[in-house]
Amino acid sequence: MPTETAPKPTLESLAVLSLPATLDSLDAARASGRACVWGGERLTIETAVDLGEQTDSAGRVCFLRACRRHAGQAAHRALMEHAPSCEQCTDNAGGCGLGRVLLRLIREGRR
């Protein structure tokens, strides 16, 4: 049975996830996406959530990834901040694209 990969966050959802404030302090494994940007766990294609490319203050390109658990926790925090002020989320939770992506990340984090 094929393994499903975690959902890829959109640019908008990446903007609301609380990524590390200073990319300069990331070790090589976290900066290259081999380890979870938050917890440092070793990642594989099947376990990683791609958080996109970022550039630190020295111009080093970082390819951030996270484990599903930490991505889900960050998505939960982001949804709790986003939903109360989003008209679409308060009217119909399924009507907001950002809310749907964050909910998918939360669900994937529970696997």
Specify the pLDDT at position 72: 92
Q: In terms of pTM, does the model score above 0.85?
A: no
* pLDDT of residue 11 exceeding 80: no
* pLDDT of residue 2 exceeding 50: no
* pLDDT of residue 33 exceeding 50: yes
Q: What is the DSSP string of 18-36?
A: ---S-GGG--HHHHTTSB-
For the residues 44-69, what does the mean pLDDT come to?
A: 89
**Sign of torsion over alpha carbons 111, 8, 44, 25:** negative
- Tell which wins on pLDDT, 58 or 77: 77
* pLDDT of residue 92 exceeding 90: no
